[in-house]
């Protein structure tokens, strides 16, 4: 993102400078390339840590559970108890469940949840943990007994249906209904179990270790680029402490309920300092928004697995990959032609944030088109407010009109910006709605890669040009944000790896191994550092021009309304008219 000052003129924000040249020195002196090397180093470390250590008997167990589901599916016209048990057991096979992965997580994990005392996020004594567990023990015993009773009833019903060779429809329906009741009881047990599984922790030494490790990691990169390692190292701890506080803002109970995550708090806390006492001079060398964000985006690239778009079959592709780009393009067009928003980068950042998937899309798009930090901040702020409203409002509307779970899940999954809020809204509506919503959002998340790449190319080739100017391929290459290459290469490599391993193996070793067990945790820290840096270098007054005429809010409301209507229509057509077979089996 450009760190230049806000332009209050009607001139194009960026004009081509036809003097581009690139040298081999760029590979170790330019931030974009350094972000690629640092990101790749972590991805390689993740692969080396996880791939040689699959869970014991992984292949054997996966084959066993798949065989059980196949056998049970052929036996009965409903999902039997054994089918559900095999599916649940399969989900329990994760590379992240191993001891070494738990140790990595302990080092990289963000502060924990708290309600009243912020220190609870960093320290919990053994006595407190035991008291918390004792509090939930009775409720846990109760739901556990209810689950056992529900299982016994489901077993009896299934045996009765089996005795009639599964040819008696009434018995089949009874068995299916009792199995659903057992699954609901099982879900309650699992929720209650969390309340008796509290463990003591002391996060201070881990956070200190992480701060030192990250200061070295990024400091070495700065030193290679020609900056002072020592000055960066010293200032980094201040930025890191603010990032920890931002995480603590997120994990506070009420803020968590409303989906106000660390990006917002990092910016708020950073701005509180920069606009009151001022960012201390000794901290400035470590205030490196682009450096952190680009490295985080290279890691995010690995999480963009293209095979995920088939997760819910063809309806998912139509809903997430047809409605979303249409909304993005129409909203951007509306912003330029109707609202006449002066900054194209602000327009595309808000459009991508609103139509694709909130904060993560805003970060990737803003970096790809070199939007200003205030523009990214504004897009994220708008997204968080609208997300909080939609998270509560959409399930309420769906319930009011009696929307079926799958339709409601698809609608909420594609239209609520933030991934976490989608899951919350889905869970509010029901189990099936949750799974459909989270899966549709996952498919939409993958669009970030295409969006960022498309925006980067479009900006270099068309937007950053003088009117009527033709830009050579060499010029496009020169101006292309190079970190996007690392972002795309990481995505392509991990997508190929994911495809070649097979879905089950990849779910265990890549998704629940390298990604969720290592690089995702690092990526989140990098984004927290980036947003803290944004706050530390932003002046409140720089926002003033952007609020003129309330155009960003109008843009957001237009795009969101379009997406709400179009997605509902397309989801209905896909799930209830064209691909009814998929709907029936979900």
Partner 1 sequence: MFALMPLAGYLPGAVTMGRVIDERDLRATAIYYTDLEESAEGAETIRDSLAYPPREMERGEP
Which helix (H) or strand (E) segment holds residue 202: the answer is strand 201-202
Helices (H), 119-228: 126-163, 169-194, 204-224
| 266 contributes a contact to partner 1 by CB under 8 A | no
DSSP annotation of 123: E
Per CB under 8 A, the segment of 47-55, 226-234, 341-349, 358-366 that binds partner 1 is 358-366
The least distance separating partner 1 from the CB of residue 254, rounded to whole angstroms, comes to 5
Closest CA to 422 of 445, 404, 401: 445
Applying CB under 8 A, among 154, 286, 359, 465 the residue interacting with partner 1 is: 359
Task: Locate 277 and state its tokens.
Answer: 């006492």
Q: Which is nearer to partner 1, 236 or 265 (CB)?
A: 265
Nearest one of 548, 527, 376 to 8, comparing CA atoms: 548
In the bound state with partner 1, the residue whose beta carbon lies nearer, of 268 and 339, is 268
Are the CB atoms for 526 and 247 separated by under 8 Å? no
**Contact letters for partner 1, residues 489-518 (x by CB under 8 A):** --------------x---x---xx--xx--
Nearer to partner 1, 32 or 524 (CB): 524
Contact 367, 483 (CB under 8 A): yes
Among residue numbers 53 through 82, which ones bind partner 1 (CB under 8 A)? 66, 69-70, 72-80
The CB density around residue 566, as the number of other CB atoms within 10 Å, is 19
Site for partner 1 in 206-265 (CB under 8 A): 250, 252-263
| Residue 529 CB, nearest approach to partner 1 (Å) | 15
Helix (H) or strand (E) holding 385: helix 373-401
Distance CA 239, CA 243 (A): 6
428 in Cβ contact with 452 (< 8 Å) = no
Query: Among residues 207 and 297, whose Cβ is nearest to partner 1?
Result: 297
Residue 125, classed as helix, strand or coil, is coil
**Which of 109, 120, 168, 542 touches partner 1 (CB under 8 A)?**
168
For residues 405 and 380, is the Cβ–Cβ distance under 8 A? no
Cα separation, 584 vs 575, in Å, equals 9
454 lies in the binding site for partner 1 (CB under 8 A): no
190 CB neighbour count, 10 Å cutoff: 12
> With binding defined as CB under 8 A, does residue 300 bind partner 1?
yes
Which 80-119 residues touch partner 1, going by CB under 8 A?
Answer: 80, 83, 87, 90-91
Tell me whether residue 127 or residue 165 sits nearer to partner 1 (CB atom): 165
Residues 309-338, one symbol each (x = binds partner 1 by CB under 8 A, - = not), give --xxx-------------------------
C-beta closer to partner 1: residue 303 or 475: 303
Q: Which of residues 389-408 bind partner 1 (CB under 8 A)?
A: 391-393, 395-396
Alpha-carbon separation of residue 99 from 49, 50, 96, 510 (angstroms): 12, 12, 8, 17
Question: 264 is written with which tokens?
Answer: 């917002």
Residue 471 contacts partner 1 per CB under 8 A: no
Q: Please identify, using beta-carbon distances, which residue of 465 and 515 lies nearer to partner 1.
A: 515
110-134 exposure pattern, b = at least 16 Cβ within 10 A, e = fewer? bbbebeeeeebbbebeeeeeeebee
Among 135, 191, 199, 340, binds partner 1 (CB under 8 A): 191
**Stretch of residues binding partner 1 (CB under 8 A), selected from 99-107, 433-441, 488-496, 552-560:** 433-441
User: In the complex, what is the shortest distance from the CB of residue 155 to partner 1, in angstroms, rounded to a whole number?
Assistant: 17
* Number of shown-chain residues binding partner 1 (CB under 8 A): 81
């Amino acid at each position: 993102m450009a760190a230049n000052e806000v332009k209050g003129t009607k001139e194009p924000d960026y004009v081509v400078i036809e003097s581009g040249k690139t040298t081999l020195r760029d590979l170790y002196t330019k931030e974009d390339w350094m972000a690629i090397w640092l990101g790749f180093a972590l991805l390689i470390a993740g692969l080396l840590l996880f791939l040689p250590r699959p869970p014991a008997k992984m292949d054997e167990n996966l084959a066993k559970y798949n065989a059980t589901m196949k056998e049970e599916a052929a036996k009965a016209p409903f999902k039997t108890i054994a089918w559900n048990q095999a599916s649940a057991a399969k989900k329990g096979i994760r590379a992240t469940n191993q001891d070494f992965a738990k140790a990595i997580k302990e080092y990289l994990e963000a502060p924990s949840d708290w309600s009243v005392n912020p220190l609870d996020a960093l320290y919990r004594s053994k006595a407190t943990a035991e008291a918390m567990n004792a509090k939930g023990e009775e409720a846990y015993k109760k739901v556990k007994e209810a689950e056992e009773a529900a299982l016994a009833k489901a077993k009896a019903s299934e045996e009765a249906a089996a005795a009639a060779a599964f040819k008696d429809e009434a018995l089949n329906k009874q068995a299916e209904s009792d199995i659903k009741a057992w699954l609901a009881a099982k879900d309650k047990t699992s929720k209650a179990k969390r309340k008796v599984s509290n463990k003591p922790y002391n996060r201070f030494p881990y956070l200190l270790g992480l701060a030192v490790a990250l200061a070295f990691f990024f400091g070495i990169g700065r030193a290679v680029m020609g900056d002072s390692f020592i000055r960066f190292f010293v200032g980094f701890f201040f930025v890191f402490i603010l990032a920890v506080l931002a995480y603590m803002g997120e994990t506070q109970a009420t803020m968590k309920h409303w989906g106000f995550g660390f990006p917002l708090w990092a910016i708020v806390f950073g701005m509180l300092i920069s606009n009151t006492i001022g960012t201390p001079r000794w901290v400035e060398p470590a205030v490196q928004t682009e450096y952190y964000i680009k490295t985080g985006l290279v890691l995010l690239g690995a999480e963009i697995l293209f095979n995920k778009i088939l997760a819910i079959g063809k309806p998912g592709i139509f809903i997430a990959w047809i409605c979303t780009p249409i909304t993005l393009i129409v909203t951007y067009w509306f912003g330029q032609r109707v609202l006449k928003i002066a900054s194209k980068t602000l327009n595309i950042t808000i459009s991508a944030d609103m139509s694709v998937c909130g904060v993560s899309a805003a970060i990737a798009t803003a970096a790809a088109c070199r939007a200003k930090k205030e523009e990214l901040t504004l897009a994220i702020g708008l997204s968080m407010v609208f997300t909080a409203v939609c998270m509560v409002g959409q399930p309420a509307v769906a319930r009011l009109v009696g929307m079926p779970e799958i339709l409601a899940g698809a609608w909420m999954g594609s239209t609520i910006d933030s991934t976490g809020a989608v899951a919350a809204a889905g869970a509010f509506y029901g189990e099936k709605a949750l799974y459909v919503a989270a899966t549709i959002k996952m498919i939409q998340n993958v669009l970030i890669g295409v969006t960022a790449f498309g925006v980067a190319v479009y900006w270099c080739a068309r937007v950053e040009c003088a009117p009527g100017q033709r830009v050579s391929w060499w010029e496009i290459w020169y101006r292309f944000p190079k970190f996007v290459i690392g972002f795309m290469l990481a995505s392509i490599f991990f997508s190929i790896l994911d495809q070649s391993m097979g879905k089950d193996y990849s779910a265990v070793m890549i998704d629940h191994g390298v990604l969720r067990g290592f690089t995702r945790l690092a990526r989140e820290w990098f984004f927290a550092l980036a947003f803290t840096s944004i706050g530390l270098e932003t002046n409140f007054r720089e926002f003033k021009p952007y609020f003129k005429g309330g155009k960003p809010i109008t843009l957001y409301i237009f795009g969101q309304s379009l997406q709400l209507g179009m997605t509902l229509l397309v989801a209905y057509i896909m799930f209830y008219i064209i691909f009814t077979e998929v709907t029936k089996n979900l």
